[in-house]
Amino acid sequence: MKLEDALFNWLQIDRVAEARPDDRAALDTRDFFLQVLQEDHGVVRVSVSAEDATMIHVRVEKESGMKLFFFDREAAEGLLHDIVANPRYQG
């Protein structure tokens, strides 16, 4: 999986896990994508460093240095919106 894809997947599920802290599946999936980032791409730390109305800035630290990635906020929060909109996943 490409770094950008793994980061986007991590960001999407991180949004879900933050909004639903009791959702064990979301937490486990976030951990999975963090493991992919660490093992496949040498990421030491990943975090949301800033966000505005349209973009989310993700900071990735590797031993070789730091890099910022920018993701469309609407796309990154799409999974959370889909889960919230589906009554099957409430409760």
> What confidence tens digit (pLDDT) does each residue in 12-62 have?
999 999 999 999 999 999 999 999 999 999 999 999 999 999 999 999 999
What are the pLDDT digits (tens) for 60-87?
999 999 999 999 999 999 999 998 898 6
User: Tokens 């990154």 correspond to what residue?
Assistant: 76
The pTM of the full predicted model, rounded to 2 decimals, is 0.92
Do 51 and 59 meet the contact criterion of CB atoms below 8 Å apart? no
> Which of 16, 3, 29 has the alpha carbon at shortest distance from 82?
16
Sequence spans of domains, the chain? 3-89
